[in-house]
C-alpha cells in the first residue's frame, strides 16, 4: 500500500459541493491499495502513520506523532482519502498507467478496512468518498509531506 501524508492545520474533502470529511490540525492521508496488497500491509501502514513523529514538541522539534498531539492539548485528526493515482507508472510515455493499482472492488475493501482500523485506533477520523470526484482543500503545515509504501513480501524483495 502507498500513502502520502501531509501535516495540516486543517483539511476537508468536498463531493458535489458538500463537505464529506473535515479535520483541524492533523494528517491528510492519501492512500492507495496496489495489486497483491492484503490486510497485513494496511495494518503495517496504519501503525507507521499513527506513530510517525512529524509534529513539533514544545521545543520545535519533530518529536510528536498524531497520537501524541493529545498530550499537547490538541487531538490530531486523520482525514483519509482514497487515491488510486498514487500507483501511477510514468516511465513509459506521457500517459500514466494505473495497472499496479488494486482492482476497484479490492481497493474499496482494503480502504474500508484501513478506515475501520483507523477508527478503532484513533479518536478523530474523517474520510473522503471512495471512487468519487473529490475536491481536497488543505492548509499544509510546514509544509511537511511524507510518502510511505508498504509492499507485500513478493514486491518488497524485488524493489531494491
Catalytic residues: 83-85
Residue 37 CB partners (closer than 8 Å, separation 6+): 1, 102, 110, 152
Taking CA atoms, 99 is separated from 21, 36, 70, 111, in Å, by 28, 12, 40, 18
Closest by CA position to 22, among listed 59, 60, 77: 77
Q: Helix 104-121 to helix 39-51 angle, to the nearest 10 degrees?
A: 40
Amino acid at each position: 500500500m502507498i500513502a502520502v501524508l501531509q501535516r495540516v492545520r486543517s483539511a476537508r474533502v468536498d463531493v458535489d459541493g458538500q463537505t464529506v470529511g473535515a479535520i483541524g490540525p492533523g494528517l491528510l492521508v492519501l492512500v492507495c491499495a496496489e495489486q497483491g496488497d492484503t490486510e497485513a500491509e494496511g495494518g503495517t501502514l496504519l501503525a507507521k502513520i499513527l506513530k510517525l513523529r512529524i509534529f513539533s514538541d514544545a521545543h520545535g522539534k519533530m518529536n510528536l506523532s498524531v497520537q501524541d498531539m493529545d498530550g499537547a492539548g490538541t487531538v490530531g485528526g486523520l482525514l483519509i482519502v482514497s487515491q488510486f493515482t498514487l500507483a501511477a507508472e510514468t516511465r513509459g510515455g506521457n500517459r500514466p498507467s494505473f495497472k499496479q493499482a488494486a482492482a476497484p472492488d479490492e481497493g474499496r475493501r482494503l480502504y474500508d478496512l484501513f478506515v475501520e482500523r483507523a477508527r478503532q485506533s484513533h479518536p478523530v477520523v474523517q474520510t473522503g468518498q471512495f471512487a468519487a470526484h473529490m475536491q481536497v482543500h488543505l492548509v499544509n503545515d510546514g509544509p511537511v509531506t511524507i510518502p510511505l509504501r508498504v509492499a507485500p513480501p513478493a514486491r518488497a524483495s524485488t524493489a531494491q
